[in-house]
Chains A and B, each alone.
Chain A
């Protein structure tokens, strides 16, 4: 089964600073990758997903992620953090090889934005 690793359970940035949240996947075959966000007291919602059409994927709220096969990475970035970006972010991979149509999630990264 595929897996994803998120480095850093907590990331703190200042408002206006660059946001970088790391995700590495384990697979020799390019997987189908996702970033989901969970705002306080809410369920998860999709930020963006990698479709293999382009290595740089743009999502909602100014976030984007770059797929790097050589590094098996799919890091999430945003040029300028906003207070409203404070949330928990999850990288996920589709379990193609098991055929179970589910997602395998990373452990999550909680983003704090300081004023």
Chain B
């Protein structure tokens, strides 16, 4: 079974803090994704990566950056947390063979509260 783990289930941070959200997958997947989930808005793509050190902006990259130094790990960074970044953050991975029907496997999510 594919396992995607996220470093924290719940996180409380203060405005202006630098925040790191970590995601690790154990199935040697090429693609990794960060989504943000908000009520009534579904999931929105922040960034994705299709290879080590490669990254692409998604729909809402402002205020975020990412790092992928190793294939299994994809980090989301909030450079200076703001209250409007309070949300649920979901990491996902997929095999990466270029098949549009590839299943994405999701982690359990990190619920971030910025005060």
Contact = CB atoms under 8 A, between A and B. Distances in A.
B40 to A, nearest CB: 6
A107 B109 CA distance: 17
Contacts of B108: 41-43
Contact of B101 (A43, A44, A51): A51
A107 B90 CA distance: 15
Contacts of A49: 101, 103
A46 B103 contact: yes
Given A101-B31, A102-B33, A105-B42, A32 B109 contact: no
Interface in B95-115: 96, 98, 100-104, 106-109
A101 B50 contact: yes
Contacts of B50: 101
Nearest to A9: B40
B12 interface: no
Interface residues of A, number: 25
B90 A44 contact: yes
A43 B41 contact: no
Contacts of B109: 42-43
B42 A101 contact: no
A12 interface: no
12 contacts: A42-B109, A43-B92, A43-B107, A46-B103, A94-B101, A100-B48, A102-B45, A102-B58, A103-B45, A103-B104, A105-B43, A107-B40
